[in-house]
């Protein structure tokens, strides 16, 4: 197993763990859980060396491996939640320098890096850098304790599936509610010429939005799921979701640049645009809007739950890409729904772009 396989299994677990979350996790929850797991690891090391310890050294080694796997799982889950790609070429899974350190220094480095991560969630470039650092520190501890990280994560994966099966909330998940995502071993070469780069980095003109519009809840089906439109509408019908109307957007890429602003200092923030062009050359500029009944404005939590179940049903599609000389595994999401506090603005944006349809 390589870091790419650990990444792949992590995304499956992230989807599966939705079944035991009382409320869907977002980036903040993954960071907090990261501190919890580092704390667990610290406690094990403290017990192993300084406190009452009821476990043998072999048992402790197994527990340490589990905690290291949990740390990697939460780092990868955070990156996926923020749609940040991980450059696997920067992951150092065998580092003999770690053997010259001690466990206190190695665990301290995890706390320091995780602390920096908390203050950096709005900076994708920094989150990417710190995430690589945390994964490398996890491997360093595994090397220090002579733990096979691949085997440790494989054990964690299977034990997690058993845990989820035992503790799932019936109202959150059904047996077939989470689809294991498609994953292709073929590497897609993403070409970014200067003209295309300038296009994505150019300053967007300000738009005059209609502030008097009465907003309406919606689901936006992105280009990667247009072939699943019938499946999506069937799902909504089975859930009793009332659909008000439907529209097709013919200039989605331009709309998306306003919905998901590009960070000029982080090419990851516009890599997904280029990937969408490469993977869906015929439909990259199209999207389908499903406008829902007004009643969902008063019960937005219910809509959020439906969106989560729909995303689980569709899964996510992962791609191996070569971008700017780096081999990366990334993914495309299929569904977008506005957060409640962004609904008015995003509805007005969609209304404006529907008027501009060509």
Which pLDDT belongs to residue 13? Answer: 86
In terms of CATH architecture, what is 183-355?
2-Layer Sandwich (3.30)
Cα dihedral 11, 315, 319, 85 sign? negative
Count of CB atoms within 10 A of residue 64's CB? 22
Please list, in sequence order, all residues whose beta carbon lies within 8 angstroms of the beta carbon of residue 22, skipping any fewer than 6 positions away: 169
Q: Which of 36-40, 73-77, 91-95, 122-126 has the lowest mean pLDDT?
A: 91-95
> What is the band of 100 on the pLDDT scale with cuts at 50, 70, 90?
low
Q: How many Å apart are CA 74 and CA 92, to the nearest integer?
A: 18
- Mean pLDDT across the chain: 82
Which pLDDT belongs to residue 167? Answer: 61
> What is the band of 172 on the pLDDT scale with cuts at 50, 70, 90?
very low
Considering only CA atoms, give the Rg of the chain.
Answer: 22
Which pLDDT belongs to residue 55? Answer: 57
User: Is a pLDDT exceeding 90 seen at residue 160?
Assistant: no
Q: How many Å apart are CA 209 and CA 350, to the nearest integer?
A: 10
Is residue 86 within 8 Å of 73, Cβ to Cβ?
no
Q: Rank 12-26, 30-44, 262-276 by mean pLDDT and report only the highest.
A: 30-44
Query: Each residue of 289-326: pLDDT tens digit?
Result: 999 998 888 887 777 778 878 877 887 677 778 887 77
Query: Each residue of 250-277: pLDDT tens digit?
Result: 999 999 999 888 877 667 778 889 989 9
Q: Which of 8-12, 106-110, 154-158, 300-304 has the lowest mean pLDDT?
A: 300-304
Interval 69-86 mean pLDDT: 89
User: Is a pLDDT exceeding 60 seen at residue 1?
Assistant: no
User: Is a pLDDT exceeding 70 seen at residue 153?
Assistant: yes
Interval 344-351 mean pLDDT: 93
> What is the band of 56 on the pLDDT scale with cuts at 50, 70, 90?
low
Cα dihedral 20, 26, 27, 31 sign? negative
Interval 2-25 mean pLDDT: 81
Which pLDDT belongs to residue 233? Answer: 94
Which pLDDT belongs to residue 179? Answer: 47
Q: Which of 43-47, 130-134, 178-182 has the lowest mean pLDDT?
A: 178-182
Kindly list the domain boundaries of the chain, sorted by start residue: 3-167, 183-355
């Amino acid at each position: 197993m390589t870091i790419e396989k650990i990444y792949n299994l992590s995304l499956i677990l992230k989807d599966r763990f939705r079944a035991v979350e009382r409320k869907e996790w977002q980036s903040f929850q993954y960071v907090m859980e990261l501190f919890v797991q580092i704390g667990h690891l610290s406690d094990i090391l403290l017990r192993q060396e300084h406190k009452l310890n009821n476990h043998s050294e072999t048992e402790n080694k197994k527990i340490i491996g589990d905690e290291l796997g949990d740390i990697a799982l939460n780092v990868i889950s955070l990156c996926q939640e923020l749609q940040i790609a991980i450059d696997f070429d920067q992951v150092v899974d065998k580092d003999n320098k770690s053997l010259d350190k001690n466990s206190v220094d190695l665990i301290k480095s995890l706390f320091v890096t995780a602390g920096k991560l908390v203050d950096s969630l709005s900076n994708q470039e920094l989150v990417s850098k710190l995430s690589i650092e945390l994964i490398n520190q996890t491997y360093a501890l595994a090397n220090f304790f002579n733990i096979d990280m691949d085997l440790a994560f494989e054990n964690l994966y299977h034990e997690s599936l058993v845990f989820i099966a035992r503790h799932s909330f019936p109202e959150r998940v059904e047996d077939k509610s989470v689809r294991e995502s498609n994953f292709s071993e073929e590497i897609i070469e993403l070409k970014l010429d200067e003209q295309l780069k300038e296009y994505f980095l150019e300053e967007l003109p300000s738009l005059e939005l209609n502030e008097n519009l009465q907003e309406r809840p919606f689901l936006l089906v992105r280009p990667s799921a247009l072939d699943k439109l019938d499946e999506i509408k069937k799902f909504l019908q089975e859930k009793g979701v009332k659909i008000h109307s439907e529209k097709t957007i013919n200039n989605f890429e331009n709309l998306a640049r306003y919905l998901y602003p590009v960070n000029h200092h982080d090419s990851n923030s516009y890599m997904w645009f280029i990937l969408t062009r490469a993977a869906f050359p015929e439909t990259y500029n199209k999207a389908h809007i499903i406008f829902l009944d007004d009643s969902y404005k008063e019960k937005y939590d219910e809509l959020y739950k439906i969106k989560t179940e729909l995303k689980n049903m569709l899964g996510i599609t992962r791609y191996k890409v070569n971008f700017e000389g780096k081999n990366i595994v990334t993914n495309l999401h299929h569904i977008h729904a506005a957060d409640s506090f962004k609904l008015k603005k995003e509805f007005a944006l969609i209304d404006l772009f529907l008027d501009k349809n060509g």
